[in-house]
């Protein structure tokens, strides 16, 4: 039985507590948060777990095997470092840290202490994203040309991070996973409309260039009247739309495309043939992604499987975010990405 401590009972922490505590081979034995009222509220649901406002009592507890960090992103590195230095396994929410140097330090520390370091890129564990990956890898879509992503809503405005750091980690991690590669270049534009005095961008457009000419365009915004979570994957054979907001039909595969006639004698005979066939809606498992993610962490600690969202994966995402923000400051100038550890 893996004894787990959780630091952070804000927006996301209670979901992690519920899922880890619900696993047959894990138990949440301690919960920490600076907000006493929030701690008391969440603690009522888990009377067997010790509650504390001092996270060090969890970090230093010899009976706890692993610690989950679900706190503001600026605290991920210092808390993660304390956890690993104490010899405990670490599950840290995304983004892994606020700088690539801090990510490297955590990776190095986990390696030296021989501890598991897992980054909570939850979408990698969703049935929909895994199905898309399977469709791409099987050749069902043909050669994938580009991916277009919209992740927009009205709020929630952050005070310590711009919209790129808040929302784009999801989509960068998804596209990296789908392509099985890291982008080689990123360019971005963004604007501060609401929190202009703070210099915090609330809307941004990112373009990621991947090997083999693949592109990904990511639109993130806290300033949109609709909640949209759409991903379009365009291939040479078929096209796919993933609507994460849809309760039932999250993925639609369209047998649509454009073919060039293989032979023609002159330009006048050149034609493009447009295909428009059936729409396929694949069946997806109804398992909660966060439960899959939590179980994966427990299984990795137990040595039953290989880790999917490693510290290196978390580092790659942070490097893209860093360079995207640099591009914004330089009016959209493309930034090359180098991935040396």
Cβ(116)–Cβ(300) below 8 Å = yes
**In the numeric block, which tokens belong to residue 250?**
């999250």
**In the numeric block, which tokens belong to residue 279?**
């729409």
Asked if residue 96 is part of any domain, the answer here is: yes
pLDDT single digits (tens) 174-194:
999 999 999 999 999 999 999
Tell me the percentage of the chain whose pLDDT exceeds 90.
Answer: 88
75 lies in the same domain as 147: no
Last residue of a domain, one of 115, 137, 164: 115
156 lies in the same domain as 205: yes
Length of the chain (residues) = 341
As a whole number of angstroms, the distance between CA 292 and CA 154 comes to: 29
pLDDT value of residue 276: 78
DSSP helix/strand/coil, 312: helix
| Max intra-chain CA distance, the chain | 79
Q: At what angle do helices 76-85 and 100-113 cross, to 10 degrees?
A: 10
- Mean pLDDT along residues 321-326: 98
- Mean pLDDT along residues 58-72: 97
pLDDT value of residue 263: 59
CATH number at residue 40: 3.40.50.720
- Mean pLDDT along residues 112-133: 98
Q: Residue 70's closest CA among 158, 161, 7, 159?
A: 7
- The pTM assigned to this predicted structure is 0.93
106 lies in the same domain as 172: no
As a whole number of angstroms, the distance between CA 2 and CA 28 comes to: 9
**In the numeric block, which tokens belong to residue 289?**
């992604």
pLDDT at 8 over 60: yes
Asked if residue 302 is part of any domain, the answer here is: no
pLDDT value of residue 54: 97
179 lies in the same domain as 203: yes
- Mean pLDDT along residues 92-103: 97
CATH number at residue 185: 3.30.360.10
- Sheet of 239-243: strands edge to edge? 272-280, 251-260, 239-243, 223-235, 144-154, 215-221, 203-209, 185-191, 335-336
For 182, phi and psi rounded to 5 degrees?
-105, 145
pLDDT single digits (tens) 247-299:
889 999 999 877 766 655 555 555 667 777 789 999 999 899 999 999 999 99
Q: At what angle do helices 100-113 and 311-329 cross, to 10 degrees?
A: 170
pLDDT value of residue 259: 72
Cβ(63)–Cβ(97) below 8 Å = no
pLDDT at 6 over 80: yes
pLDDT value of residue 271: 66
183 lies in the same domain as 323: yes
Asked if residue 306 is part of any domain, the answer here is: no
**How buried is 191 (Cβ within 10 angstroms: 0-12 exposed, 13-18 middle, 19+ buried)?**
middle
8 lies in the same domain as 87: yes
What is the DSSP track for 223-273? EEEEEEEEEEEEESS-EEEEETT-SS--EEEEEEEEEE-S--SSGGG--EE
pLDDT value of residue 262: 64
pLDDT single digits (tens) 200-220:
999 999 999 999 999 999 999
What is the DSSP track for 105-146? HHHHHHHHHT--EEEE-GGGGSHHHHHHHHHHHHTTT-SEEE
Last residue of a domain, one of 57, 82, 115: 115
As a whole number of angstroms, the distance between CA 311 and CA 327 comes to: 24
Least confident of 127-131, 276-280, 316-320: 276-280
Q: For residue 225, what are the domain limits? A: 127-287+318-336
Average pLDDT score, the chain: 94
pLDDT value of residue 163: 98
């Amino acid at each position: 039985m893996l004894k787990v401590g959780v630091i952070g009972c804000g927006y996301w922490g209670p979901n992690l507590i519920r899922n880890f505590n619900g696993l047959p081979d894990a138990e949440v034995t301690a919960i920490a948060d600076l907000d006493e009222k929030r701690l008391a509220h969440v603690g009522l649901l888990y009377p067997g777990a010790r509650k504390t406002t001092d996270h060090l009592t969890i970090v230093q507890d010899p009976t706890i095997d692993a610690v989950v960090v679900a706190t503001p992103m600026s605290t991920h590195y210092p808390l993660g470092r304390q956890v690993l230095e104490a010899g405990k396994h670490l599950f840290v929410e995304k983004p892994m840290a606020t700088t690539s140097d801090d990510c490297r330090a955590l990776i190095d520390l986990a390696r030296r202490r021989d501890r598991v370091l897992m980054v909570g890129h939850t979408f990698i564990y969703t049935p929909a994203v895994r199905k898309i990956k399977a469709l791409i890898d099987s050749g069902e879509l043909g050669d994938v040309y580009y991916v277009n992503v919209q992740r927009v809503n009205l709020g929630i405005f952050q005070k310590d991070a711009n919209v790129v750091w808040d929302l784009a980690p999801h989509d960068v991690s998804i596209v990296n996973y789908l392509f099985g590669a890291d982008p080689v270049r990123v360019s971005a534009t963004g604007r501060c409309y609401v929190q202009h005095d703070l210099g915090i961008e609330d809307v941004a457009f990112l373009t990621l260039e991947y090997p083999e000419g693949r592109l990904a365009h990511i639109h993130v915004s806290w300033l949109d009247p609709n909640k949209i979570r759409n991903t379009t994957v365009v291939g040479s054979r078929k096209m796919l739309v993933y609507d994460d907001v849809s309760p039932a039909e999250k993925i639609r595969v369209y047998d649509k495309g454009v073919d060039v006639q293989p032979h023609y004698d002159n330009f006048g005979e050149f034609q493009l043939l447009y295909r428009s066939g059936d729409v396929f809606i694949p069946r997806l498992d109804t398992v909660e992604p966060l439960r899959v993610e939590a179980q994966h962490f427990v299984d990795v600690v137990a040595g039953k499987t290989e880790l999917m969202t490693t510290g290196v994966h978390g580092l790659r995402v942070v490097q893209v975010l860093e360079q995207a923000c640099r591009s914004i400051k330089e009016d959209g100038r493309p930034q090359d990405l180098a991935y040396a550890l």
